[in-house]
Amino acid sequence: MSTATATGFKPRILVFSTNNISDPGIDLAGSRHMHYPAQVSTMNVPCSSGLKPGWILHAFEQGLDGVFIGSDGDECALLDDCGKRTGQIITQAQELMKAKGIAPQRLKMAALCSVCAEPFVGYMREFSATLTDLGPITAVAS
Amino acid sequence: MSEQPDASTSEQADAGTSEQADPGKSGDRRIGVFICHCGGNISDYVDVAKVRDALKDEPDVVVSETTLFACSDGTQQEMVAAIQEKKLDGLVVASCSPKLHQITFQGVSKRADLNPYSYTQVNVREQCSWAHTDDHEGATEKAIGLVRAGVAKTRLSTPLEPLVVKTLPKTMVVGGGVAGLRAAVGLADIGLGVVIVERASALGGWVAELGPMYPNEHSGREQIDFLIAEVAKRPSITVLTDAELVSKSGSFGNYITEVRVKGSHSQMVTAEVGTIVVATGFDTYEPEVGEFGYGIDGVVTLPEFTKLVDSSKGPLIYKGKQVRTIAYVYCVGNRQPAGGNEYCSKFCCAATVHASLKIAKRDSELRQYHLHRDIRTYGKFELMYSESRERGSVYMKFPDETPPSVAKMADGRLAVTVVDTQTGNEELTLPADLVVLVTGMVPRQNQGLTSVLKLPVGVDGFYNEIHPKLRPVETVVAGVMIAGACQSPKTLSESVASGLAAVTQSAGILLKGFAELDPLVATVDIAACAGCTDTCLASCPYDAITAVDTDGRKVAEISAAVCKGCGGCVPVCPEDAIDLLGYTDAQMRASIDSLSLVKEPVA
């Protein structure tokens, strides 16, 4: 158990979801009253391929401890190569993070389908545990 | 509260003078926030009064209230009154998922003469109270952050109007099989012009080759002939055979298409249409040589077998010899393991049982063995299955992992070895004169059409609809619909039903004469655009972005009518010159700032 847990550190996570695919999956987790940490907040966009790497960096700069992208993957109805595009965005974001000394483990991506309630909750618990071990981002960035 | 809408004299503006320099923070908006109890669905876990109080102090927020049920008629009327009395120019409702009530509260905005795109729905039920019933304090903190992010988004919203485009009262139907023909007749009867584009030299598709069909024993040919006669009666339908759609340009409601018509000399025909219905059908599965004995004389596919049955009378004769025993092997080419054709083709059980009944009625001595994984004669087809068993057909269920094998015996007959799960997994060898491989449907290879229309193809190779239940014939390409078995395996009646659904969708779009499109599309900041354009043009599979000359300078231009609003071009622009309306760079960053609730940036 890390010292961060002992001091009551609860990592704050920003999730980017997509309107038609992953956001309904995240909704479903709530509809089933499945629990994940309340420090997880979701912002939705039409498609994960439209996320700017700069927004991810901005979230870290604003003190959020982790960013998770619930991508459309193969299910994207808008772009055939959505998974590849989102992957490129992640790569670019990681370069920006590296330049700022932000640990790469603070950014995660997984394809989430419109009924992926259980996987989402699992990812959040796991990610939260990883970030708890890493400690608050202030400690990393300063 | 000042009644003066002019921001410069309002209370909020006075309070926010120190932030005037930043348009995102300045007190020049008048936003109303309503936080819903949802009975107790939200308020049992989120302290809604605390959220309300936190939002009261937010810049630009002039109304912050809680409501028992935001969606109730009474509350909606109160919101309309508040918008008008307080002269609100932005609305935020924190309640359930936008999938449920975004449209409801956009409607409230419209009724109060507030631009519906200045409305933001904040999901504090599915994504907050319900997910954190174990952490009331955490849920309340989270809700405050989410609502502040919603306010930040509305603060930076600009009034948007739906894009109104005129539409042409004409539909192109690609594919002249049963779904396409029935759709064409329906389209003509509803008052739309129709162009049928058929790749083959004659209309009819697969159904034209079928004999008597369940339940009324009309042949496929007769049914197609009936539809072709109906098409011929309608002068508003143009039929192009030996024809292929080779290009599509223009935008929703006004597509310009080019069709290559083969003949003694090929020619190009241009057709301007409002919508396109794709009904290109399926292909039948072709087994590999050696697959269940395919390639051995006497092993035939379902289409080969039905043709043999329908083209003869009396006892079945195959290559000069009377057939006394038939073995059917079901699910060939379908329900395959992961990576193969995993789906069920739906029609093949019924078609096989029907064909076996037809031949049983002609030869009462015939022995028929049906080797299956499950018999799926659903709905009314079940009656055929019962009759087939009554007439002596034997059904044997084999295990998924132990399929039957087919070999040729010394006497020239066929031997089918099967494990029968219903007789204690006993292995049996059945002699047979004919083995019918019950082959299902596979997606038709139509790479040309797929790329011309930018049709979305699913992992199974069939075309994808927007929503399998609620929007079953629409595709993400506005005004392009799919019908029949190009979408998924379907029976004849299901194909016709989806063809008629496509008629309704086309009529819904075209009969008004105009269409309204969602304005949440990508836009280019011309001043920031460096004119490199290669990257953004390549990023758009819908060809919504073009390079144009503006004042002697090359810049990117995005057609709002063609743009699908995915935002895929936004991150690729090296100059950050592209924004997606409703999700602009400023809105996203401001929402992140509000969510993070951190005073000092950390990096």
CATH number of the domain encompassing residue B22: 3.40.50
Whether residue B214 is found in the same domain as residue B314 = no
What's the pLDDT score for residue B398? 97
Are B227 and B324 part of one and the same domain? no
The whole-number pLDDT of residue B459 equals 80
Distance CA A120, CA A69 (A): 11
Task: Enter the pTM of the model.
Answer: 0.68
More confident residue, B191 or A21: B191
B102 found inside a domain: yes
A71 touches chain B (CB under 8 A): no
Least CB–CB distance from B568: residue in A14, A31, A49: A49
Q: What letter represents residue B482's amino acid? A: I
Are residues B411 and B478 both part of a single domain? no
> What does residue A141 show for φ and ψ, rounded to 5 degrees?
-80, -20
- How much is the average pLDDT of B451-463? 86
Q: Which domain holds residue B380?
A: 285-441
Q: Establish if B600 belongs to a structural domain.
A: no
In chain A, domain spans: 15-141
- Tens-digit pLDDT profile for residues B91-104: 999 999 998 899 89
In sequence order, what are the beta bridge partners of B432? B414
Whether A107 shows a pLDDT value over 70: the answer reads yes
Could you say which of A34, A61, A78 has the minimum Cβ distance to residue B601? A61
Interface contact A138-B602, CB threshold 8 A: yes
Whether the per-residue pLDDT at A141 is higher than 80: the answer is no
The mean per-residue pLDDT over the stretch B17-22 comes to 37
**Is B603 inside any structural domain?**
no
pLDDT > 60? residue B22: no
The answer to whether the CB of B96 falls within 8 A of the CB of A23 is no
Beta-bridge partner residues of B580: B522
CB contact (8 A) between residue B566 and residue A47: yes
Judge whether B24 is closer than 8 Å to chain A, CB to CB: no
Of B7-21, B27-41, B126-140, B422-436, the poorest mean pLDDT is in: B7-21
Q: What is the pLDDT of residues B469-521, one digit of tens each?
A: 878 999 877 899 999 999 999 999 999 999 999 999 999 999 999 988 889 99
Is A30 within 8 Å of B126 when comparing Cβ atoms?
Answer: yes
> What's the pLDDT at B24?
47
Q: Do A52 and B127 touch (CB under 8 A)?
A: no
Residue B303 — φ and ψ, nearest 5°? Answer: -60, -35
User: Is residue B20's pLDDT more than 50?
Assistant: no
Q: Residues of chain B with pLDDT > 90: what percent?
A: 84
User: Do B385 and B340 belong together in one domain?
Assistant: yes
Select from A23, A36, A62 the Cβ nearest to the Cβ of B593: A62
Examine residue B184 and state whether it is found in any structural domain, yes or no.
yes
Closest CA to B92 of B112, B57, B113, B117: B117
Q: Does position B541 have pLDDT exceeding 60, yes or no?
A: yes
Ranking B21-25, B266-270, B409-413 by mean pLDDT, the lowest is: B21-25
Rounded to whole angstroms, the Cα distance separating A17 from B205 reads: 43
Helices (runs of H) and strands (runs of E) counted in chain B: 14, 30
Same domain, B155 and B182: no
B27 band by pLDDT with thresholds 50, 70 and 90? low
Cβ-contact A51, A30 below 8 angstroms: no
Whether residue B526 sits in one domain with residue B495: no
Among A27, A56, A113, the strongest candidate for a mutation testing the B interface, having the largest count of B CBs within 10 A, is A27
Touching check for B100 and chain A: CB below 8 Å? no
CA distance B258 to chain A (A): 24
Whether residue B399 has pLDDT greater than 70: yes
**What is the model's pLDDT at position B307?**
97
Tell me, yes or no, if B139 comes closer than 8 A to chain A by beta carbon: yes
Which residue in chain B has the smallest CA separation from A40? B142
Interchain contact, A58 vs B567, CB within 8 Å: no
How far is residue B94's CA from residue B115's CA, in Å, rounded to a whole number?
A: 18
pLDDT digits (tens, 9 = 90+) for A117-138: 999 999 999 999 999 999 999 7
Return the residue of A nearest to B563 by Cα: A78
Look at residue B588 and tell me if it is in a domain.
no
The enclosing domain of B333 has a CATH number of: 3.50.50.60
- pLDDT tens profile B262-280: 988 899 999 999 999 999 9
B297 and B418 assigned to the same domain:
yes
Average pLDDT over chain A, rounded to whole? 90
Q: Which among B129, B146, B456 has the least Cβ separation from residue A41? A: B146
Residues B39 and B146 in one domain: yes
Question: What are the pLDDT digits (tens) for B310-363?
Answer: 999 999 999 999 999 999 999 999 999 988 999 999 999 999 999 999 999 999
Asked whether residue B272 falls in the same domain as residue B292, the answer is no
Q: Which residue of A has its CA nearest to B588?
A: A55
Mean pLDDT of B222-243: 98
Of B339 and B19, the structure prediction assigns the larger pLDDT to B339
Contacts A46 to B, Cβ<8 Å? 520, 565-567, 580, 583
Mean pLDDT of A100-104: 95
Helix (H) / strand (E) containing B362: helix B348-362
Chain A / chain B CB contacts < 8 angstroms: 152
Residue environment code for B482-517, b if the CB has 16+ CB neighbours within 10 A, otherwise e: bbbbbbbbbbbebbbbbbbbbbebbbebbeeeebeb
Q: In the block, which residue shows the tokens 């028992």?
A: B68
Q: How many domains does chain B have?
A: 4
> What length does chain B have?
603
Integer Cα distance of B180 and B192 in angstroms: 15
Of B139, B108, B126, whose CA–CA distance to B45 is shortest? Answer: B139
Question: Could you say which DSSP state residue B60 is in?
Answer: T
The pLDDT, as a whole number, for residue B283 is: 97
What band does A77 get if pLDDT is binned at 50, 70 and 90? confident
pLDDT given at position A7:
67
The residue among B342, B583, B584 with the most chain A CBs within 10 A of its CB, best to mutate, is B583
Q: B556 or B561, which is more confident?
A: B556
Indicate yes or no: CB of A55 within 8 angstroms of CB of B580. no
Q: Which of B515, B544, B563 is the last residue of a domain?
A: B515
The answer on B433 and B363 residing in a single domain is yes
Residue B306 contacts residue B211 (beta carbons within 8 Å): yes
Interface of B with A in 461-490 (CB under 8 A): 464, 466, 476
Closest-CA residue of chain B to A42: B127
Is B599 among the domain residues? no
**pLDDT > 70: percent of chain B:** 94
Check: complex ipTM more than 0.90: yes
Query: Which of residues 5 through 44 in chain A touch B, CB cutoff 8 A?
Result: 10, 12, 14, 23-24, 26-31, 33-44
- CA-to-CA separations, B58 to A14, B31, B181, in angstroms, rounded: 21, 10, 60
pLDDT above 70 (res B156): yes
Residues B179-218 have pLDDT tens digits of 999 999 999 999 999 999 999 999 999 999 999 999 999 9
A113 touches B: beta carbon within 8 Å: no
Asked whether the predicted pLDDT for residue A1 surpasses 60, the reply is no
Q: Are residues B98 and B11 in the same domain?
A: yes
Q: Does B363 lie in the same domain as B311?
A: yes
Domain-terminating residue out of B106, B127, B160: B160
pLDDT confidence tier of residue B16, bands split at 50, 70 and 90: very low
| Residue B416 covered by a domain | yes
CA distance A54 to chain B (A): 9
Q: Of the residues B160, B179, B203, which one is the last residue of a structural domain?
A: B160
Band the pLDDT of B26: cuts 50, 70, 90.
low
